[in-house]
Amino acid sequence: MNYLQQYHVLFSGVAVFLLLGGFTSLFSSEAKQMTELCANAIDDDNDGLIDLNDPDCICEVIEPVSLIPNPSFEDLNCCPSSRSQLNCADVWIQASAPTTDLIHQCGWPGWPDYAPPLPFPDGEGVLGFRDGRPSFMLEAANPNWKEYAGACLLSPLVTGNRYRFEFEVGFVNRTFSPPINITFFGTRNCDNLPFGGNDDRFGCPTNGPDWINLGSTMVNGGSGNQWVKAVIDMEATADIEAIAIGPGCPEIVADVGLYYYFDNLVLDDFESFTFKISGTVHPCSDAYRLSVPDRDNANFQWYFNGVAILGETSANLGRLPIDGKYIVVIDDGSGCRTSSEFEYIRPVIEMPASVVICPEDVYPFGDLQLGTTGAYLDTFRSINNCDSIVPLQLTVLGESVDTVDVSIFEGESYEIGAFNIRKEGEFYVTLSSSLNCDSLVLVRLDYYNVYFPTAFSPNSDGVNDFFTVQGGDDLVEVLELKVFDRWGNELSADKSWDGSRAGEPLNPGVYVYRARLLMDDGEERAFSGAVSLLR
């Protein structure tokens, strides 16, 4: 009796039932075995351990281990705060002059117009990249704008060996993410990263020396907002130490920016991929199933949390999985081997929302009709049947008075809505919002406290020895203070003046000045006037 033939052992007088939600076995005490049979969902040797949870049932694990380091962009040197920060992902390199983007749930969520599909296939990080670039502001279109990420391999690809590269491609929508040719490039030396000499029109790596095309595949994201698994099989024609991945080489002409995502980049020898559990369709769909590659003349057995699922003896699991860990054992005549463990957790997506309504309006939220400012929480079904948790922050205009504190110089005015306020004081202003409802704003206006002396006496008595601008905390910086004589000759460009020129004291008289000040509202202002020098 081989290892998997044990699955078909029937015990006299024993009925064995298995429910995926909990393994239950009914059997007589006489049927207990002193050797664990490994595939009948029974603790045969009565040691409290069933099937693969028992050390008696150990098999060799067949599992690909990616030669690409940090394959899901989870190991971080820093948390990205903006675009082009692939350097925050440990060991990854911006391979091209056009830079890729690291999107990570610890920080930068990506471009607002190119939201990545949720949930991410593996972990909290993904890579975003462009293929071609349309005209941008004053810059001409660049069809050779191609963004590539690169890395040195943990061990090189060996000439003549077969390899498989599996990865996930994320699509925004049909407009921004049409089908794309994903291409995999390799080089003999890590010193060839980055390539292209900082030329953003260089294009793909093979437009220069030292790089070869390892393979490519066309990936179609359909209507978008989804991840698609892709595979490139190859035979190494050279020893490869470093790789770059991104779009294909042909120039791309488009009216919009084309944008895509990468995640879960697994590169290993071909054989290690031949027995790996994968899912079908979206993991929240009721049609979702688990499967392994089929093999002729092989026996299969599925396990849930280490316990055999009776009756599941084909390459495909015949039922909708529930949260837990799955393993498949295969016996193809060379002894038992197991897949790597596959943990299924039905995704839950959190989608925060912020909504503003008018006082007379209500906002429908699940079964509720909301009309009061506050924070709310509900769970909905997403388009892919996932649980979508929505924290809502609802603001009702007019329920509170917004306060605006502002400072201006005397003679200036502050504009808010259709109102211009010129004097110090408190003013209530009614504004119409983009929602066509009114809100009340309290404007508290003060004059800036900045003083230009009209005279000073540089006699070293410690009182008014210098001419300078005086102000409070609202004066951020004196950017410029220049003093001139009556003929327009510049006497000083320092931020204070001691009444001299080139160290020589000047005669009493009237001098003119010009100043530029930076205030706490971020605005620069220019001033000019006259100051009397007294002796």
For residue 493, count other CB atoms closer than 10 A to its CB. Answer: 10
Per-residue model confidence as pLDDT tens for the chain (535 residues):
344 434 333 222 222 333 333 333 333 344 445 789 999 999 999 999 999 999 999 888 877 889 999 999 999 999 999 999 999 999 999 999 999 999 999 999 999 889 999 999 999 999 999 999 998 756 789 999 999 999 999 999 999 999 999 999 999 999 999 999 999 999 999 999 999 999 999 999 999 999 999 999 999 999 999 999 999 999 999 999 999 999 999 999 988 999 999 999 999 988 778 778 889 888 888 899 999 888 778 899 999 999 999 999 999 999 999 999 999 998 877 678 888 899 999 888 888 888 888 877 899 998 899 988 889 999 888 777 888 888 999 888 766 667 888 999 988 999 887 888 999 999 988 777 666 677 778 899 999 989 999 999 998 888 899 999 999 889 999 999 999 998 889 999 889 999 999 889 999 999 999 999 999 988 899 999 999 999 8
CB atoms within 10 A of CB 114: 20
Contacts of residue 81, Cβ cutoff 8 Å, sequence gap at least 6:
107, 108
Phi and psi torsions of 168, nearest 5°: -115, 135
pTM value is 0.51
> Which residues touch 406 (CB under 8 Å, ≥6 apart)?
414, 443, 444, 445, 446, 521
Write out the E strands in 12-117.
Answer: 15-19, 22-26, 60-62, 93-94, 101-104
Q: What is the DSSP letter of 270?
A: G
Q: Cα-flanking dihedrals φ and ψ of residue 207, to 5°?
A: -75, -10
Q: Which of 390, 355, 401, 395 is nearest to 372 (CA)?
A: 395
Give the DSSP letter of residue 410.
Answer: B
**What is the distance between the terminal CA atoms of the chain, rounded to a whole angstrom?**
116
Give the closest residue to 102 by CA, choosing from 30, 90, 166. Answer: 90
- What is the C-alpha radius of gyration for the chain, rounded to an integer number of angstroms? 35
Two structure tokens written together for 38: 């490994």
Amino acid in position 476: V
Q: Which residues contact 373 (CB under 8 A, 6 or more apart)?
A: 394, 395, 396, 399, 400
What are the structural domains, with CATH classification, of the chain?
10-39+276-344 (2.60.40), 86-273 (2.60.120.260), 348-396 (no CATH), 402-447 (no CATH), 450-533 (2.60.40)
CB 167 within 8 A of CB 263: yes
Ranges assigned E (strand) in 290-352: 290-291, 299-304, 307-308, 324-331, 336-339, 342-344, 348-350
Please give the helix or strand (H or E) that residue 481 lies within, else none: strand 475-484
Q: Is the dihedral of CA 509, 514, 516, 519 positive or negative?
A: positive
Q: Are 103 and 80 in contact (CB under 8 A)?
A: yes
Backbone angles phi, psi at 382, to 5 degrees: -80, 180
Distance separating alpha carbons of residues 32 and 379, to the nearest angstrom: 47
Question: Contact, 299 vs 334, CB < 8 A?
Answer: no
Token couple for 501: 């020129």
| Cα distance between residue 329 and residue 358, in whole Å | 61
Rounded Cα–Cα distance for residues 321 and 285 (Å): 11
Would you call the peptide bond into 194 cis, given omega within 30 degrees of 0 as the criterion? Answer: yes
